[in-house]
Structure 1
């Protein structure tokens, strides 16, 4: 492997057969995972980067993000007491969600790599360019 390729992720391209319509929310999802699904799936479909093969990854992301929120909600309901075991589970779920989010283009760095609209989209000259 070339020294120049280390740590450089290939750019994400629109899929050749993207989903055009959001699949139904999986029945086994918690309310938190369901909310995450409804938040991210329309965006991924609009970007045309989501295909059937990606759905397991999307489901896992939603479950992990939902688990993080569920544990936090339960912690707050318990008066803010930190359960060390639940904190470990929450931490691992957050790490997994963060890794999957990067592969799906759900964080600022991966969105810039994808080149999605909203990264500037303004065609006017940049006054900071010399």
Structure 2
């Protein structure tokens, strides 16, 4: 499966270097003007994460009404990860089951699944460098001038 298409609004913001025709009727949900409140069903850790991320997503124009469920799932996964990490910290990586057999703490599985969800939904929200660049445009520094261009017969700019 290929890379998902960029929204038309994002293409307009980033410019159109290929001069390709842009769809005018593409879906363009409007960015939220105000940071939405966290859903009531989120737990303490999840609400804390919502408060840390939602304002930034709103200020950067990434957050739309259709993204709130992605943020809610991200925050819920964050809470599951924190709770499972606390469980492993208190009981260890291995536990003794009802039959007296030593086995992997089930919280380790919860940690792995929560981390997968955090990575997936975090990428959808632009919370890692690669997806942030994809959502917002590269915006990185320009390449420095090559000082050896003069050797190839070119001109150095001043």
For the superposition of Structure 1 and Structure 2, which TM-score range results when normalised by the shorter chain? 0.7 to 0.9
Corresponding residue for 1:87? 108
Q: Secondary structure at the match of 1:8?
A: coil
Corresponding residue for 1:106? 127
Unaligned runs of 5+ residues in structure 1 are 1-5
Give the superposed CA RMSD.
2.3
Partners in 2 of 1:11 and 1:108 — Cα distance?
A: 17
Q: Between Structure 1 and Structure 2, how many residues are aligned?
A: 118
Partners in 1 of 2:68 and 2:3 — Cα distance?
A: 25
How far the C-alpha of 1:126 sits from its partner, in A, is 4.3
Partners in 2 of 1:30 and 1:74 — Cα distance?
A: 16
Larger radius of gyration: 2
Higher relative contact order (CA 8 A, sep 6+): 1
Corresponding residue for 1:63? 76
Unaligned runs of 5+ residues in structure 2 are 14-27, 94-103, 147-158
- What do residues 39-72 of structure 1 show as CA deviations (whole Å, max 9, x unaligned)? 1101110111211122111101100011111111
The alignment's TM-score, normalised by the length of structure 2, stands at: 0.64
Partners in 1 of 2:65 and 2:82 — Cα distance?
A: 26
